Each structure stands twice: as C-alpha cells, then as structure tokens.
C-alpha cells in the first residue's frame, strides 16, 4: 500500500491498523485491483477469498481442510517474497504448523487439492495469444477509471471536499489540510491532464503510433493499472479505430474532464482554508 500511495496509504487503506488476520485478508480483497493485483497472479485473488471463507467466525473445519488452507496461505505469502523480509520467517512458521497437523505415515491430504491450484497457475503460464483483443484493451481503460475514482474519492475525503457540491467542509482558518493528501491531489490532477491530452490525440482524425505510444507511456509511468505485457501501441490504434470504442473512450474522457474540474475546484477551495503565518 505504501509503495503505491506513499504516506497517504494510511488514509486510503480499507481497514486501519492494528489488524487481525481477517482485517488483512479484507484489505487484500478490497485493494486487489489497485494494489496487490500488480504483484500477484490473478489466480491468487481466489486464494484470498478462500482464506476469508476459511477463517469466518464460528466455522468448523476438519484437519484436511485446515491443511489445504494452510498450503494455500503459504503459496499466497510466497508471492510477496521479494517485497518483504518477513516472508521466509512466515513460511517457516507455516511449515512447522503443517508438519504438526499432518498425520504421520500418511500422504498429505491436501496435495491433490493444492495441485489443482498449481495446475491453474500452470495454465496461467501457458502460451497465450500474442494479439490483445479489443475487449482486453477496453478492460484496461475501465480499470484506469475505477482506480482513479477510488484514489480521488479517498483524497477528497481526506481533504474534506465534496466533489458533488464542489465545496469544502473545512472551516476557513481551520487546521491545515494533510500535506500528503495535497501532494496526491496535485499528482492526480497532473496525471488526468496528461491522460486527457493523450485521449484527444488518439481520437484525432488520423492518429499514429506515436500518439498511441505516448498514451501507453503515460499509463505505464503513472502505474495507474496493471498493463498486459503483450499490449502495444498498435493494439491501442486497432481498438480505437473502431467507432464503438472511440465513443467509449470519448465518454471516458468526458468523465475525466468532470473529475479534473473537481480537482481544480478542490485545489482552489483547499488553499482558502490554509492559514499562513504572519
């Protein structure tokens, strides 16, 4: 969370620390698309949902189900091995628990269950089509819109700004707004401005690969959404040469323009509530 949102993460995270295990799993679920989906394979989101179900209060499970859940948790934690120095210790603890629960002289009951998940991972690794479909291209832009809306909503909340009424709930001369939220607000505003300019270029009468590549670079550099490694500028051109997708992108651009207006208004109203020393 902190790697994506920097110091503003504590304002954005779904549940504030201190966390229980269920709290952590719920945060995984809530922020999967915007944060954890960048790191973990898509199949691991199912593991999070399975673990939430397993740890549901009052649910009775047998030993084999517990072993299966433990193995699933271990595989999920492994994904974050390069992100945290705590992972090896956590895996070691889970291995110890697994060995204590595993009946001696019997083959692991969960091997078959977890092999199914491994097979799913193997399927993810199978060669896929080099061509990105128009639906896949558009799914990226839907994710961009969703992520920008989620982050902006949290920023507005942190700054006490209502984007519907375009007014601030903060009293004039009151406490200064959180600096981290202000920094994030300006970053969002700048990013949306670049996106709008790139959208306009791609929707021009004769867009070329240069315009499409500029848009792709903006998406990559701002890490707005998880981008398919197969996606190229030509895929964007092919998609947005179709009238229905051009209309969709135009409608998305109009929504971003409305959001940009809210950003600008928030900047203006927020500055009025900052008390400068005299």
The better pLDDT of the pair 236, 6 is held by 236
Side-chain-side CA neighbours of 145 within 13 Å: the count stands at 17
pTM over the 0.75 mark: no
The better pLDDT of the pair 255, 123 is held by 255
Nearest CA to 156 out of 24, 35, 269 is that of 269
The better pLDDT of the pair 102, 52 is held by 52
Read off the pLDDT of each residue in 217-230 and give the average, rounded to a whole number.
84
Q: What is the pLDDT at residue 81?
A: 84
Q: 15-42 burial, b if ≥16 CB within 10 A, otherwise e?
A: eeeeeeeeeebbbbeebbebbbbeebee
Q: What are phi and psi of 167, to 5 degrees?
A: -130, 155
Instruction: State the SS3 of 93-159.
Output: HHHHHHHHHCCCCCCCCCHHHHHHHHHHHHHHHCCCCCCCCHHHHHHHHHHHHHHHHHHHHHHHHHH
Q: What is the pLDDT at residue 108?
A: 44
CB neighbour list of residue 153: distance below 8 Å, 6 or more residues apart: none
Contacts made by residues 168-177, CB under 8 angstroms, sequence distance 24+? 168/266, 168/269, 168/270, 168/272, 168/273, 170/270, 170/273, 171/273, 172/272, 172/273, 173/273, 173/275, 174/273, 174/275, 176/273, 176/274, 176/275, 177/270, 177/273, 177/274
Integer CA distances (angstroms), 142 to 39, 135, 149, 194, 222, in order: 19, 10, 11, 17, 16
> Which range, of 13-17, 41-45, 78-82, averages the lowest pLDDT?
41-45
Q: pLDDT for 135-157, tens place per residue?
A: 989 998 998 898 888 888 888 88
Where in the chain are the domains?
2-125, 134-272
What percent of the chain lies above the pLDDT cut of 90?
21
Q: pLDDT for 45-86, tens place per residue?
A: 888 988 988 887 566 778 888 888 899 899 999 988 877 888
């Amino acid at each position: 969370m902190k790697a994506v949102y920097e110091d503003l993460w504590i304002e954005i995270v779904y549940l504030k620390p201190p966390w229980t295990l269920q709290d952590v799993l719920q945060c995984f679920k809530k922020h999967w698309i915007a944060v954890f989906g960048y790191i973990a394979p898509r199949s691991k989101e199912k593991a999070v949902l399975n673990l939430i179900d397993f740890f549901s209060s009052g649910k009775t499970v047998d030993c084999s189900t517990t072993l299966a859940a433990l193995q699933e948790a271990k595989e999920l934690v492994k994904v974050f091995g390069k992100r945290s120095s705590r992972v090896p210790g956590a895996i070691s603890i889970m291995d110890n628990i697994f060995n204590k629960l595993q009946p001696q002289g019997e083959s692991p009951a969960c091997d078959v269950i977890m092999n199914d998940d491994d097979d799913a991972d193997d399927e993810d690794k199978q060669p896929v089509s080099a061509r990105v479909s128009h639906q896949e291209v558009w799914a990226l832009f839907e994710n961009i819109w969703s992520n920008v809306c989620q982050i902006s909503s949290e920023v507005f909340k942190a700054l006490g700004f209502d984007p519907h009424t375009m007014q601030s709930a903060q009293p004039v001369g009151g406490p200064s707004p959180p600096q981290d939220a202000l920094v994030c607000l300006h970053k969002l505003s700048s990013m949306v401005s670049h996106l709008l300019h790139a959208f306009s270029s791609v929707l021009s009468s004769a867009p070329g690969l240069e315009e499409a590549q500029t848009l792709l670079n903006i998406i990559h550099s701002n890490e707005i959404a998880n981008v398919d490694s197969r996606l190229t500028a030509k895929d964007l051109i092919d998609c947005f040469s179709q009238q229905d997708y051009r209309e969709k992108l135009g409608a998305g651009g109009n929504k971003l323009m409305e959001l940009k207006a809210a950003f600008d208004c928030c900047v203006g109203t927020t500055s009025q509530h900052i008390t400068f020393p005299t």
